[in-house]
Amino acid sequence: VAAVLHILTDGHVAPVLAPEEEFARDIREGLTRTHKRIPSKYFYDERGSRLFQQIMALDEYYLTRCEYEILKTHAADISAAIGSAPFNLMELGAGDGYKTDLLIRALQKDKRTFRYVPVDISESALRELTEKLEREYPRLEVQGIVADYFHALRWHAEQGAWRNVVLFLGSSIGNMNQTETRLFLKALRARLKPNDLALIGFDLKKDPAILLPAYSDSKGITAQFNLNVLRRINRELEADFDLNQFFHYETWAPVRGAMESYLLSRRAQTVTIGALGIQVAFEPYEAIHTEYSFKYTPGEIRHYAAEAGFAAAHEYFDTRHYFEDSLWRAI
């Protein structure tokens, strides 16, 4: 069921590697370079997804509760902004749909005609979500798609005349760097018709004293989440990382505008990755970069919108202005 195609930004279709091959290639590439890195998308195996659920429940991880507050406060406004024409409500990276529930409720209250199309790379998470929604909203049409974002957007573009409303919540966009963000937003715009909408969640720049604990919590869940990627490499690529010999390190990079996650080596050590037939040497305190979580200002968000061919129609904030859900209209 998983997508086997990547839709490139210029509209051409290219075959891609099987997921295991892509993982092997990215780990080899990432751990054999001078500045070691592992792409953050590999956090989310089953255990990693469960750890992320635990992160979302942490007191320090304000993002989830801020966006929940925004949707709770503004669901009716968002429904009004969408209007009464029938539409596809497509959610990229739907996860457990906990926040989307608020929106679905408001849309049903307003008697909107829509089909909910959650997209996720995890088939198990998607099945759980669609079954939950079927129980809760027996009359709602739900069409889950197991795919990467670009593949799903192409499907979307081919679904006839209904208007498209795309949700990309939770600051998922924060894992992309500037170049990737621009490409993604351009590709998104290319798949939409004029007047289609996108609601995108951005975490805002704020005091590092608030940011740091959110990504370095006192219970050490984020540390486990970060280290879990080494456990995954051990299991899937027959490696022998000793998880006690690496530790989670988090920092705010004010010029880049990003939280940065690293795994640091406690000592000089050599790790064997059996499936790749390589050995990786670490010096004391050498780093593996594992994640960026970019933060924005409302002005930067408007800039991205304009550049990609959208009008930033509405900006929704929580009371503390920690987070923004920005509603964009395709021009």
Q: Binding ligand AVJ by CB under 6 A: which of 55, 119, 145, 330?
A: 55
Distance of CA 28 to the CA centre of its chain: 23
Q: Which residue is nearest to ligand AVJ (CB)?
A: 293
- Confirm or reject binding of residue 170 to ligand AVJ (CB under 6 A): yes
Stretch that binds ligand AVJ, among 31-39, 165-173, 185-193, 295-303 (CB under 6 A): 165-173
Site string for ligand AVJ, 90-129 (x = CB under 6 A): ----------------------------------------
Q: Tell me which residue has tokens 């406690």.
A: 266
- Confirm or reject binding of residue 164 to ligand AVJ (CB under 6 A): no
Choose between 14 and 209: whose C-beta lies nearer to ligand AVJ. 209
Choose between 143 and 175: whose C-beta lies nearer to ligand AVJ. 175
- Confirm or reject binding of residue 296 to ligand AVJ (CB under 6 A): no
Stretch that binds ligand AVJ, among 157-165, 167-175, 269-277, 318-326 (CB under 6 A): 167-175
Q: Binding ligand AVJ by CB under 6 A: which of 120, 196, 260, 291?
A: 291
Name which of 315, 289, 291 is nearest 301 in CA terms: 315
Report yes or no: 250 and 259 within 8 Å, Cβ to Cβ: yes
Choose between 152 and 223: whose C-beta lies nearer to ligand AVJ. 223
- Confirm or reject binding of residue 181 to ligand AVJ (CB under 6 A): no
Minimum CB–partner distance for residue 92 and ligand AVJ (Å): 12
- Both tokens of residue 65? 């509760």
Question: What are phi and psi for residue 206, nearest 5 degrees?
Answer: -155, 180
Report yes or no: 88 and 163 within 8 Å, Cβ to Cβ: yes
CB crowding 268-278: b at 16 or more within 10 Å, else e: ebebebeebee
What is the H or E stretch that residue 190 is in?
A: helix 178-190
Q: Binding ligand AVJ by CB under 6 A: which of 133, 166, 174, 276?
A: 174
What value, to the nearest 5°, has the Cα angle with vertex 220 and ends 59 and 208? 60
What is the H or E stretch that residue 6 is in?
A: strand 5-7
- Separation CA 116–CA 119 (nearest Å): 10
- Both tokens of residue 207? 């005091």
**Amino acid identity, position 36:** K
Residues 219-238 that bind ligand AVJ (CB under 6 A): 222
Q: Binding ligand AVJ by CB under 6 A: which of 87, 150, 184, 215?
A: 215
Minimum CB–partner distance for residue 33 and ligand AVJ (Å): 22
- Confirm or reject binding of residue 175 to ligand AVJ (CB under 6 A): yes
Q: Which residues contact 259 (CB under 8 A, 6 or more apart)?
A: 211, 212, 214, 215, 250, 251, 252, 253, 291, 292, 293, 295
Residue 39, helix vs strand vs coil: coil
- Confirm or reject binding of residue 64 to ligand AVJ (CB under 6 A): no
- Confirm or reject binding of residue 172 to ligand AVJ (CB under 6 A): yes
Name the site residues for ligand AVJ (rule: CB under 6 A).
55, 63, 170-172, 174-175, 215, 222, 291, 293
